[in-house]
Amino acid sequence: MDGRSRALTKIGFGVLACNSAIAIFQSWGDAGSVAYVLAADAAILLLFICLREIEREGRERERNIKVAVWVLTTLLSVMFASKIAPLMPPVVSVVIWAMSVATAAGGFWTFFLNNP
């Protein structure tokens, strides 16, 4: 990773940390919302770690890393849908859940069934 990418990564994580701190501050007292923010942050951080591992390890541990990436992205998609869908009209809620399922299925197909 070059210096520019490293700086952008630090800026991105700084923005994420500030946004998360504000979200936690505003939802203090609501344990579910605080847990949601912390879980989403942990998943994003773990996804970044997986990306770094792919850059370092290459194909040696690629399958295990793909499993981790798919699980984490599916988790984030389901978390987002579970938070947003109840706020929408029923038809839109169904569309949100359908997109979440399609994203998980598409990721599974891309990572595990579509062997190049």
pLDDT at residue 112, as a whole number: 87
Helices (H), 1-116: 3-26, 31-57, 62-84, 90-108
H/E segment holding residue 85: none
Provide the domain limits for residue 36: 3-113
Domain count of the chain?
1
> Using CB atoms within 10 A of its CB, is residue 89 exposed (0-12), middle (13-18) or buried (19+)?
exposed
pLDDT at residue 116, as a whole number: 58
pTM (2 d.p.): 0.81
**Between residues 65 and 75, which one has the greater pLDDT?**
75
**Between residues 53 and 109, which one has the greater pLDDT?**
109
94 φψ region: left (φ > 0), alpha (ψ -120 to 50), beta (else)? alpha
